[in-house]
Amino acid sequence: MSEIIEVSFIEKYQLMITFYPGPSKVYPQVAKYMQNAFEEGILSINHRSAECMEITKSAIQLLHEKLNIPKDYSIYFVSSATEAWEIIAQSLTSQKTTHFYNGAFGEKWADYSSKIVKQTDRIPFSLTENPSVNLALNAEVEVLCLTQNETSNGTQIKDFSPFRKTFSESIIAIDVTSSLGGIELDWENGDVWFASVQKCLGLPAGMGIMICSPKALAKAEQINDRKYYNSLLFMQENFAKFQTHYTPNVLSIYLLQKVLSDISNISVISEKIKRQAKDWYDFFNSSDKFGLNCLVQNIEIQSDTVIAVQGSELQVKAIKERTKIAGITLGNGYGTWKNTTFRIANFPAIEPFEISKLKEILQS
């Protein structure tokens, strides 16, 4: 019976081709692992049990190993990347946060911080500007908040070393929601990194990952916030025992552990993703006959994992209708570019034949 369910589920899943930038395509083996989780009783285990603690421990160790996360950086499982915004504001900020952004998600983070933190400084920059060159910031920054990959418009900060050099005393918090698991990150140049699992990690939505440096934990000790269930110090006390501070999404932790066991080291994945991104940008740069172009023209800030494509409103609508008929889902435009752009996820779980099929439709 289980074999029939598994095959049926996989066959149905393979009919879906999605380039939506989150939630996005899951790795195909997730179907098998979900069935295994049900059969092995994983869905019903006590989250304080030795079995669950072992799954959590294994997932954390594999994150260190496969993503090259330094051994002295602590890893936590939270509900979402959005919850990480709250934890940073509560547990790592005493006076103010400084938000440096050029898109909707960076701005939303600033909006959220302003509800909790006494002072929220905002420094927006444009789609044509390389933020690592124009650091229009006061060096007296307590917590610097950066969106590494702005999903709404397909931009990316590729070098954090200028920020680390300029703000060596500050806590640097970095949203890597659309890049964690897809490209290699320079961990030493940030103190808090966070993401959700439904993008480059190729898993269903429902869990976030937060990664903190020793410097971040020292800052949390200094502030000594213990008022909330998700105060960072309370989280640390639990994760030191490979337990969570709340009843967790055990299935997501289990699936994360299983998928991490399958995939290559991030250095290999990153090389593949960057190569595919270059192919996408070359494709649109040489496609004058399509009437399409890349929303982001500055190659220094073009995202490797989310490709934003611009056209007329009529053309974008027609392309989305045509791809839908072919069984392909594109990402909608976002915010200012809602009707004149579409977005293409360039995530590890997406197969080469799916990319080829989408390119054929666009060329047609």
- Per cent of the chain over pLDDT 70 is 93
User: Given a cut of 60, is residue 29 above it in pLDDT?
Assistant: yes
Handedness of CA 181, 197, 146, 129 (dihedral sign): positive
The Cα 62–Cα 154 span in angstroms is: 29
CA distances from 112 to 149, 215, 279 (A): 18, 23, 36
Give the chain's largest Cα–Cα span.
Answer: 64
User: Given a cut of 90, is residue 129 above it in pLDDT?
Assistant: no
- pLDDT bin (cut points 50, 70, 90) of residue 140 is confident
- How does pLDDT run across 324-335, given as a tens digit for each residue? 999 999 999 988
Q: In what order do the strands lie in the sheet with 171-175?
A: 74-78, 208-212, 192-196, 171-175, 143-147, 96-101, 119-124
Residue 23: asked if its preceding bond is cis (omega within 30°), the reply is yes
Handedness of CA 287, 292, 293, 294 (dihedral sign): negative
- How does pLDDT run across 171-218, given as a tens digit for each residue? 999 999 999 999 999 999 999 999 999 999 999 999 999 999 999 999
User: Given a cut of 60, is residue 6 above it in pLDDT?
Assistant: no
Check residue 130 and give its pLDDT: 81
- pLDDT bin (cut points 50, 70, 90) of residue 136 is low
Check residue 3 and give its pLDDT: 35
Check residue 2 and give its pLDDT: 32
Model confidence, pTM: 0.92
The Cα 146–Cα 149 span in angstroms is: 9
What does pLDDT average to over the chain?
Answer: 91
- How does pLDDT run across 45-77, given as a tens digit for each residue? 988 999 999 999 999 999 999 999 999 999 999
Q: In what order do the strands lie in the sheet with 341-345?
A: 293-294, 306-310, 341-345, 331-332
Query: Tokens for 138?
Result: 């006061």
- pLDDT bin (cut points 50, 70, 90) of residue 289 is low
Check residue 128 and give its pLDDT: 85
- pLDDT bin (cut points 50, 70, 90) of residue 5 is very low
- How does pLDDT run across 220-278, given as a tens digit for each residue? 999 999 999 999 999 999 999 998 888 899 999 999 999 999 999 999 999 999 999 99
Mean pLDDT of 310-315: 93
Check residue 288 and give its pLDDT: 61
Start-to-end CA span in the chain (Å): 43
- How does pLDDT run across 102-124, given as a tens digit for each residue? 999 999 999 999 999 989 999 89
Handedness of CA 162, 164, 168, 170 (dihedral sign): positive
Q: Does residue 211 sit in helix, strand or coil?
A: strand
